[in-house]
Structure 1
Amino acid sequence: MTIIPKTIHKFDPQTPGSEPERPVILAMSSHVARGSVGNRAVVFALETLGHQVWSVPTVTLPWHPGHGPATRIVPDDTSFEAFCEDIAAAPHSSEIAAVITGYFGSERQIEIASRLITRLRDKRPSLAYCLDPVLGDGGRLYRPRETLHAMRDRLLPLADIATPNRYELEFLTELSLTDNNHLVDAARTLGPETVVVTSAFGMLKGSIANLLVTSEATHLAEHRLIPGAPNGGGDLTAALLLARLLEGLRPEKALQLATASVFDMMARTTKRGADEMTLVADAEVFRQPLAMVQTRRLERPRKR
C-alpha cells in the first residue's frame, strides 16, 4: 500500500537514459544571510536533488540566533498575504506538486499559508504537503502558544507528512512522552498519514533516532549522537524525506536515506570544525550518503 496514495507516486516514464523530471516544490520558512538553517538548507538540498523550488521567506535574519543577537525582519502580514496571493493566482502555480513549511514569523502567516496550500491543491488535487512544525526543542517552546495552536488547527489537517521533534510532538499533543511507544501513540493522533519524529529515543547507548510512524508500521532509523552538531538537521530531514517520497520510494527507504544523509552531513561538518552545515562542500551526501544508519521495524505497541 502506498503511504500517501493521493500525493506520493513515482515519476512518469522518461526517455531511456534521461533523468526523471523532479516535481516543483514550494518551500516556506526562515531565511538567513549566513548559515544553513531554514530555507537555506531546504532549498539547497531540494535543488541538489534536481527539484525546482519556489522559496517563500517568512522571516529574514543575518544568522541563526544561536550565534548571537540577530535582527529579525518579518514581513508585515498584509504584504505577506499579497505575496502569497500572487503565487496562488499565478498561471505557473499549477506546476507546484508539493509544499513544505517550517518556521513562521507570525501567527497570521499560518492562516495565510493554509489558504495558499488549499488554493494550490484546488489547482492540483494531488499536491503533497509536508509540515515541519518548528516550535521548540529541548523541552522549551520558543514560539508563542498562539502559534502552536494555529499550526495545530490550521496546518495539521492539511498535511500528508509531519516531521516534529519529540518535544514538538509533546507540545502539539499535550502529552508527556518518555519512550518510543509513547511517541508512536502520540504520532497517530496528529492526523497526517505519515509522521517522522526526529530526536526519538535511540535503542543503543549514545545514539539518537528518527521514528517513522504510519497506520501500518513503525520504523526506527538510528545513528550515534554527534556532540556539537550544528543547527538545521530538522529542516534538512524534512526536505530530504519529502524528496525521497516524491521519488516513489517506500517510506522506510525514504527514512533511511534521509537519516543517513543528515548524519553524514553532520559528521563531516563537525570534522571540518565548522559551526554551520557544510552544504556546498559536502553536497554529494544528499545524492548518495556513505554513512551507515541502522533501520529496524518496531512492533506495533499494544493499546493501553
Structure 2
Amino acid sequence: MVDSVASKRSSNAVIIRILDIMSENAAGAVIVISSHVVRGSVGNRAAVFALETLGHPVWALPTIVLPWHPGHGRSTRLTFAETDFDAAIDDLIRAPWIGEVKAVLSGYFGNAAQARSVARLIGALRQDNPELLYVCDPVMGDLGGLYVPEATAEAIRDHLIPLASLATPNRYELAWLSGAALEDNSAIMEAALALGPSRMLVTSAVPMMAGGTGNLYLSGRHALLAEHRVVDNPPNGLGDLIAAVFLSRLLSGIEDEKALQLATASVFEVLARAVKRGSNELMLASDASSLSTPMAMVQMRRLVHPAQRRKK
C-alpha cells in the first residue's frame, strides 16, 4: 500500500512538472492551416482545440469548409478562389502581430496553389524568425491511395516538405512521398531520412507488439517507437490531433522521447474513449483532460538508428 501511494505521488509530481514546463514555454502563437468541418473533430477543428487546450494562442486559416468529414457521406464543399487564399496569406505576412507567431502547422489543402502559398508564408516568417517551427502534416492519402489530386500531393512534396522542421505523414503517405515500399520500420526510417526533414513522426508504423500499432519518430539522434493496442473502427481526425499535440509538447520544451510518449498516450486515450461511447467522432470537449494529463499506458521502444547501422 505504501509503495502504491508513493508511486502515485511520484507520477503526480511528474505530471505537475510537465505542466509547469508547458506554462513556462507556451508563449507564442501557432498558425494552423487545414480543412474546417461544421460538425466533427477533424482538420482545424481537432488541431485548434488541442493547441488552445494546451495553452497556445492559435490563428486558424481554413483551406476548405465542409459540413462534415467526407467519410460520413457527400456534402457541399465550400472553397476559396486561389487569388483570395493567396491574398489572405499576404495579410498574414503583413499582420502587425506576426511577431507573436512561433510555429505553423499545415494539414489538408484544397488545391496545389494553397500549398505554394503556404510555402511563401513559411519563407517570409523565417526571414524574421529563422527558428520558426513548421510542422507539415501531409494529409493526402491512406490505404486506399491518394484522396487529393496528384498535383496537390506533388505541391506538398515539392514545396512544403523541404521547408518542414517536422513532417507527420502516415506510413502510406510516406510511401507515396518517397516512392518506396515500406514493409518494415527499417524501410520507414530510411525513407524518412531520404525525404529531408530533420524530424519525422510516422503514424501507422509497423508494430512490434501483437495487436498493436505504432508511431515512429526519427531525428538526428533518436529512433523511437511508441506503441499501443489497435482500436477497431476509429473515428477520423487522429492524424490531425497527434500533429497538434506533438507540436505543443515540442513548443513546451519537453524532450523528444517524453513528448512522443505523451502525445501518443493522449491520442490513444481520446480514441479509446470515443469508441467506447460509440461515437463516430472524437469527443475532444469531453476528453480535454486526456490532452493535458493522459494516463494511458504506451509502450516505448528505442530502435537502432540508421546512422548507427551504417557505422557497423
TM-score calculated relative to the size of structure 2: 0.90
Structure 2: which amino acid aligns with 1:68? G
Q: After superposition, what is the alpha-carbon deviation per residue over 1:250-289, rounded to whole angstroms, capped at 9, x for unaligned?
A: 1111111100000000001011111100000010001000
Cα distance, 1:124 vs. partner?
Answer: 1.9
Q: Is the 8 A contact 2:269 2:296 kept in 1?
A: yes
- Structure 1 SS opposite 2:108: coil
Q: After superposition, what is the alpha-carbon deviation per residue over 1:205-232, rounded to whole angstroms, capped at 9, x for unaligned?
A: 1100000011222000000000011000
Q: Pick from 105, 112, 117: which aligns with 1:112?
A: 117
Gaps of 5+ in 1: 1-15
Distance in 1, Cα, partners of 2:162 & 2:21:
40
Distance in 2, Cα, partners of 1:36 & 1:108:
25
Pairing 1:220–2:222 present:
no
Q: Pick from 128, 147, 171: which aligns with 2:133?
A: 128
Q: Pick from 47, 54, 58: which aligns with 1:49?
A: 54
Q: Pick from 273, 281, 290: which aligns with 2:286?
A: 281
Structure 1: which amino acid aligns with 2:108? Y
In structure 2, the residue matched to 1:257 is: 262
Structure 2: which amino acid aligns with 1:191? G
In structure 1, the residue matched to 2:42 is: 37
Q: Is the 8 A contact 1:139 1:167 kept in 2?
A: no
Distance in 2, Cα, partners of 1:107 & 1:185:
27
Q: Is the 8 A contact 2:241 2:267 kept in 1?
A: yes
With 19-28 and 209-218 compared, the bigger mean Cα shift is at 19-28
In structure 2, the residue matched to 1:6 is: none
Gaps of 5+ in 2: 1-19
Structure 2: which amino acid aligns with 1:82? A
Distance in 2, Cα, partners of 1:293 & 1:112:
38
In structure 2, the residue matched to 1:239 is: 244
Distance in 1, Cα, partners of 2:72 & 2:97:
38
Q: Is the 8 A contact 1:31 1:39 kept in 2?
A: yes
Cα distance, 1:123 vs. partner?
Answer: 2.3
* Pairs within 5 Å for 1:266-277: 266-277=271-282
Distance in 2, Cα, partners of 1:230 & 1:130:
23
Q: Is the 8 A contact 1:100 1:132 kept in 2?
A: yes
Structure 2: which amino acid aligns with 1:55? A
Distance in 2, Cα, partners of 1:171 & 1:18:
35
In structure 2, the residue matched to 1:77 is: 82
Cα distance, 1:17 vs. partner?
Answer: 11
* Pairs within 5 Å for 1:93-104: 93-104=98-109
Distance in 2, Cα, partners of 1:300 & 1:174:
21
Cα distance, 1:204 vs. partner?
Answer: 1.1
Name the Cα RMSD after superposition. 1.6
Distance 1:185 1:283, change over 3 A: same
In structure 1, the residue matched to 2:91 is: 86
Q: Pick from 291, 294, 298: which aligns with 2:296?
A: 291
In terms of fraction of residues, the more helix-rich structure is: 2
Cα distance, 1:139 vs. partner?
Answer: 4.4
Cα distance, 1:156 vs. partner?
Answer: 1.1
Q: Is the 8 A contact 2:261 2:300 kept in 1?
A: yes
Q: Is the 8 A contact 2:270 2:287 kept in 1?
A: yes
Q: Pick from 173, 177, 192: which aligns with 1:172?
A: 177
- Structure 2 SS opposite 1:51: coil
Q: Is the 8 A contact 1:207 1:225 kept in 2?
A: yes
The percentage of counterpart residues that share the same residue type is 51
TM-score calculated relative to the size of structure 1: 0.92
Distance in 1, Cα, partners of 2:300 & 2:108:
28
- Structure 2 SS opposite 1:91: coil
Q: Is the 8 A contact 1:260 1:293 kept in 2?
A: yes
- Structure 1 SS opposite 2:97: helix
Cα distance, 1:74 vs. partner?
Answer: 1.2
Pairing 1:27–2:32 present:
yes
Cα distance, 1:70 vs. partner?
Answer: 1.6
Q: After superposition, what is the alpha-carbon deviation per residue over 1:14-57, rounded to whole angstroms, capped at 9, x for unaligned?
A: xx999434321000000000000000000000000010000000
Distance in 1, Cα, partners of 2:53 & 2:117:
29
Distance in 1, Cα, partners of 2:270 & 2:257:
20
Distance in 2, Cα, partners of 1:237 & 1:19:
20
Report how many aligned residue pairs link the two structures.
289
Distance in 2, Cα, partners of 1:299 & 1:190:
19
